[in-house]
Amino acid sequence: MERKKDNSAIKELIVPVTAVFIGLVLGGILMTLTGVNAIEGYKALIMGCFGRLEYVSETIVYTTPLIFTGLAIALGFRCGLFNIGCEGQYIVGLIGAAVVGAMDLGLPTFIHLPLTMLSGMACGAIWASVPGLLKAKFGIHEVVNSIMMNYIALYLSHYLVNGPIKDPGITSPYSREILDTAKLWRFFGQNSPIRVNSGIIIAIAAALFVYYLLFKTTIGYQIRAVGFNPEAARYGGISVPTNIVAAMFISGALAGLAGAVQIMGIQFKFLDIFAFQGYGLDGIAVALVGKSHPLGVLPSALLFGILQRGSQTMQMLAGVPKETIGIMQGVIIIIVAAEGIIKGWLPIRKILGTDKKAAGKEVGRA
């Protein structure tokens, strides 16, 4: 019998990679149909993302929050939870960081900066714990609750930025700028237009942390056991409600961290938002394509970062409608989500060189 270990990573990658490939081909066909040279279109995509230092920087800036929200949703998935509330947790994360970051407490950077970040995380975590508790205690489905929490966050933020936390010095609904002690380090200078900052490092560290948490600790073991089979977890003495709340809490903290990093590295203040910004929802796609694996989330977030950033330059440089990218994203997500069907079509065993019959025998369940 072959050892599966060696193949498992490749096996996991086959579907997402195929999905991206099909998405790109389909995008090319769409461009051709709409009268655009597909090669020019993709050139614009690549150039727009990597053509200049600023562009690379912007791609990373787009990618960073997607890593956090992708991780948040992936962690939820691992516990069998669909934390569709990342959008709202992101918003409260923005607010939490904007408020604490703007507090002039005379703190040094090494205290003020982590405190600001923690504040954003805590807000997200608490926001996510509400649907978590409702699910654990009363069995109310987290999707419904967290969507409602999204709206509460959105309108609460309207109220706050137009009132209590509004910067009185200006007319626009902005909060006060955070202090320098709460700002993340921009690699090319604090006032440089090249906005890439240490947020990306925090994001990568977060991915490593989630990986460690999920696969190397007893907490992750419990979360995954509950996610795969709550009945067996209960049988094994693992508390299902506790882990549901814990997973929502950590997931919310990650989504809140997305907001905090956005404030501390990019925006420096809370700007009133009128509609959801989509990081939370795109995080679902990121987690799906990343197969809910923290290390899969990294390339997956980069992919979506590129597509989003690229969709703008494609429109500008090659006249490709932005919607083309939207369709490509949709195709990729559908293919990955329909993995079971796709795997039946793909000659995976041939690719990996394993004999179908031998595998059939080994599995032997009908």
Contacting positions for other proteins (CB under 8 A): 1-5, 216-219, 221-222, 224-225, 228-229, 231-238, 343-344, 356-357, 359-366
Q: Which of these, 105, 96, 280, lies nearest to 175 by C-alpha position?
A: 96
Q: Which position has the token pair 């999707």?
A: 143
Nearer to other proteins, 114 or 236 (CB): 236
Q: Which two tokens stand for residue 261?
A: 């990093």
Interatomic CA distance for residues 264 and 181, integer angstroms: 10
- Which residues, at least 6 apart from 166, have a Cβ–Cβ distance to it below 8 Å? 160, 173, 174, 175
Interatomic CA distance for residues 79 and 336, integer angstroms: 19
Nearest distance in Å: CB 75, other proteins: 16
Nearer to other proteins, 2 or 323 (CB): 2
Q: Which two tokens stand for residue 61?
A: 């800036």
Q: Which of these, 114, 74, 109, lies nearest to 254 by C-alpha position?
A: 74
CA distances for 54 relative to 60, 142, 180, 317, angstroms = 10, 40, 23, 16
Q: Indicate the burial class of 231 (C-beta count within 10 angstroms; 0-12, 13-18, 19 or more).
A: exposed
Nearer to other proteins, 193 or 236 (CB): 236
Nearer to other proteins, 135 or 224 (CB): 224
